[in-house]
Amino acid sequence: MRAMKTRWLLLLGAVCALRAAAASYPDRWVWIFGWGLGKDADVAEITKVLEDGAAHGINGAVVSFGLDALCKKSPDFFRRLDTVQQTCTRLKVELIPTVFSVGYGGGVMSHDRHLAEGLPVVDAPFVARGGAARFVPDERARLLNSDFEQFKGNKFKGFNFHDDPGVVSFVDTAVKHGGAAAIRLENFASNPHGHGRVMQEVRVKPYRCYRLSAWVKTEELRPTGSFMMQVLAGNRNLAPREFGLQPTADWRKLTMLFNSLSNETVRIYVGMWGGKGGKLWLDDWSLEEVGPLNVLRRPGTPVTVRSADGATTFTEGKDYAPLVDAQFNPYRVPEGTGLPLRLPPGSRIAEGQQLKVSWYHPMLIHDSQVTLCMAEPKLYEIFDEEARLLAQRLKPRRVLLGMDEVRMGGTCAACRGKDMAKLMGDCVTRQAEALRRHSPGVEVLVWSDMFDPHHNAHGNYYLVEGDFSGSWKHIPKDMTMAVWGGAPREKNLKFFADAGFATVVACYYDADNLKHVEGWIKLAGETKGVRGFMYTPWQKKYALLPAFGDLLKQARPAGP
């Protein structure tokens, strides 16, 4: 009897286990991020993550090793990739490449940095002298009291405001970068918003490029992520940059470029938003209009040189030597006032002649993002070739498109005036087509934000001219959305369920616990179309991956 009961219980257990296996989420993935396979140690670290995950039910690894720049990789890279691939096979973990980022430049930037999206500089004045025409900056675009030397009490002259003088902002004559004084910001918690900012409004010329710099010193500043140097016009942020300050550091010069776009005045802010503690000193700001620096050269970013009256358009290669920036690098801020236009013998440009010169330059967003132009045909040639190499090398069954956070577009001659929602949808459709051309039947996933009206698919988005609303109507319905966001996002998941897209939830983001993951699992259990989850850290925090895998084993989907 006892034996029979045991057998019956065992049988029941097996049936339950079968049911449980059939009912759990089919996609249980881990995001492998922060390794470029540049050294052998990468492989050992990745192997540990894969083994830990596989032991707890993880069955997919989404990897970002720069797999859309395969034509640039070394034999050592491929040797390491082979090892990772073999480990995945051994552990029964599917290797899922992520490729084709537009918002972060991705592999395309290693093919051709001139495919960056461009902001226009229009009709900048030049004067021809001694065989070259040189840019003439607008001397009126200047900051007042930028050395912080003029003050009364704790109030600095020339600035539109600095937060709470004598409470948050102070004149400091002991700690300064140059001259006799600097501004010190502290006691951020005394301000309801944690503000500790300095602002000055400046007149600029529309569609010109400016270089802004400030000297900064910190002492136990926190959180350092609350520090920003921003240029605002209306409700637009013309230069969304981040600088990675250290909590305590000696004087450091921060520099950035911005384009005035259609504005005649801008508000320049430096300081803390949401500061909690510590001290920040600012001193010796500078602002100057600059000429041709980081000049983009591709079909959609032409250089135009005209006479001052606009009647004559001069010819590149004949009236002036091609304006080529040998130091072109969208990731750095160049020095100097800009390249001269060399005037060869036979040029129609006369000595002393005034000119109007137009060009395009790229823009660095946050600390590392350089957006590509989605309308430049060469982009798709690169995608096609890399899709071919990817198929040859990895034979992927599934691929994630890295199409998140596309911060620019609609500003160069190739994409200006286009329907940005359609351009976004067409770009992703063509990426998927390239993948399927070389890997027939491959399933394509995409980060969700640029196709989600509750996330980034809307107007007034960063430096984009145009509106991404409706982008989701321009992509194939068989694409799977990798939905992301820190806390659970009910509206977002429901939006894709209603629009008929399958979803995978990419959650986690380096917390010390799985609270958000538990919330997402609960939400997914109530929403149709969720096919699985991806443990997604950005700081190599994989300690909670086993617990994440165990949570998924218990989780049950709502159904297709």
Contact positions vs Zn ion (CB under 5 A): 117, 373, 412, 414-415
Q: Label residue 432 exposed, middle or buried (CB < 10 Å: 0-12, 13-18, 19+).
A: buried
Q: For 248, list phi and psi in degrees, rounded to 5.
A: -130, 120
Q: Does residue 450 contact residue 473 with C-beta atoms inside 8 Å?
A: no
Nearer to Zn ion, 299 or 546 (CB): 299
Q: What is the rounded distance in angstroms from the CA atom of residue 70 to the CA atom of residue 382? A: 11
Residue length, the chain? 560
Q: What share of the chain is helix, strand, coil (3-state, %, to 5)?
A: 25, 30, 45
Nearer to Zn ion, 124 or 414 (CB): 414
CA-based nearest residue to 63, from 147, 350, 83: 83
In angstroms, what is the minimal distance from the CB of 288 to Zn ion?
A: 27
In angstroms, what is the minimal distance from the CB of 115 to Zn ion?
A: 9
In angstroms, what is the minimal distance from the CB of 238 to Zn ion?
A: 17
3-state secondary structure of 379: helix
Nearer to Zn ion, 118 or 292 (CB): 118
Q: For 6, list phi and psi in degrees, rounded to 5.
A: -60, -45
Nearer to Zn ion, 117 or 405 (CB): 117
Strand partners, 233: 236
Q: Does residue 275 contact residue 188 with C-beta atoms inside 8 Å?
A: yes
Q: Is the peptide bond before 292 cis (omega within 30 degrees of 0)?
A: no
DSSP label at residue 554? H
Q: For 191, list phi and psi in degrees, rounded to 5.
A: -95, 135
DSSP label at residue 298? S
In angstroms, what is the minimal distance from the CB of 315 to Zn ion?
A: 24
In angstroms, what is the minimal distance from the CB of 51 to Zn ion?
A: 44
Nearer to Zn ion, 293 or 373 (CB): 373
In angstroms, what is the minimal distance from the CB of 423 to Zn ion?
A: 9
In angstroms, what is the minimal distance from the CB of 299 to Zn ion?
A: 10
In angstroms, what is the minimal distance from the CB of 368 to Zn ion?
A: 20
Q: Go through 169-190 and write b for each residue having 16 or more CB atoms within 10 A of its CB, e for each that does not.
A: bbbbeeebbeeebbbbbbbbee
In angstroms, what is the minimal distance from the CB of 387 to Zn ion?
A: 22
Nearer to Zn ion, 99 or 415 (CB): 415
Q: What is the rounded distance in angstroms from the CA atom of residue 491 to the CA atom of residue 360? A: 39
3-state secondary structure of 55: coil
Q: Go through 76-108 and write b for each residue having 16 or more CB atoms within 10 A of its CB, e for each that does not.
A: ebeebbebbbebbeebebbbbbbbbbbbbbbbb
In angstroms, what is the minimal distance from the CB of 80 to Zn ion?
A: 35
Nearer to Zn ion, 196 or 466 (CB): 466
Q: What is the rounded distance in angstroms from the CA atom of residue 251 to the CA atom of residue 53? A: 44
In angstroms, what is the minimal distance from the CB of 109 to Zn ion?
A: 15
